[in-house]
């Protein structure tokens, strides 16, 4: 069995990619309302901020900032994925390994995460999120895709909404990258 080692930084900012098991599916777009409800449920139970997001047909990308002192992003993803799956029929006959783990086979088992290190890393991952649907050939421009935080960000007159004091010395109320970077140094 493989050993997956994750870096847990309380109050850290993370980039995630979460995929469906069926890479040809458009389930996330068909059930975007349910997905949003599942994320809202997780946020209400275990708070986190969504700095940027895009939902594509078979996967999604998000940047989250966790509360100070909290590094448990896996429990949040577990709640989102399990709540979403609970409201979907199984895509086919489950394999024995899925039955043993109580899975329906809708999501890939794991997700990809990356700890955001600094302002340039955050900007690079925001750009990746905003350009994802263009690279996928779904739209000609980022603002033409309805399932993205680019619309929210544009209300702030730029590529990013204002964020808290832990990031690049800006004022606000949310500790973010400074705490994560100083713990790594």
Catalytic residue chosen out of the listed positions 66, 147, 164, 167: 147
Cβ atoms within 10 Å of 151's Cβ, excluding its own = 12
CA distance 39 to 32: 11
DSSP code of residue 5: -
147 belongs to the catalytic site: yes
- Which residue, 183, 169, 73, is CA-closest to 119? 169
- Write the CB contacts of 178 (distance below 8 Å, at least 6 apart in sequence): 165, 166, 167, 168
Q: Which residues are catalytic?
A: 147
């Amino acid at each position: 069995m493989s050993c997956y080692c994750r870096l847990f930084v309380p109050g850290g900012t993370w980039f995630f990619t979460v995929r469906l098991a069926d890479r040809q599916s458009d389930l996330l777009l068909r059930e975007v309302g349910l997905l949003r409800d599942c994320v809202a449920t997780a946020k209400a139970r275990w708070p986190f901020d969504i700095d940027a997001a895009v939902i594509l047909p078979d996967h999604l990308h998000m940047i989250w900032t966790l509360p100070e002192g909290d590094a448990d992003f896996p429990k949040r993803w577990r709640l989102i994925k399990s709540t979403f799956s609970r409201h979907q029929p199984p895509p086919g006959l489950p394999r024995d390994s899925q039955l043993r783990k109580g899975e329906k086979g809708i999501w890939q088992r794991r997700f990809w995460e990356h700890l955001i290190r600094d302002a340039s890393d955050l900007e690079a991952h925001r750009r990746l999120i905003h350009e994802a649907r263009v690279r996928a050939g779904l739209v000609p421009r980022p603002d033409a895709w309805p399932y993205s935080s680019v619309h929210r960000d544009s209300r702030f007159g730029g590529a990013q909404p204002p964020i808290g004091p832990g990031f690049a010395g800006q004022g606000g109320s949310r500790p973010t990258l400074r705490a994560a970077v100083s713990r790594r140094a």
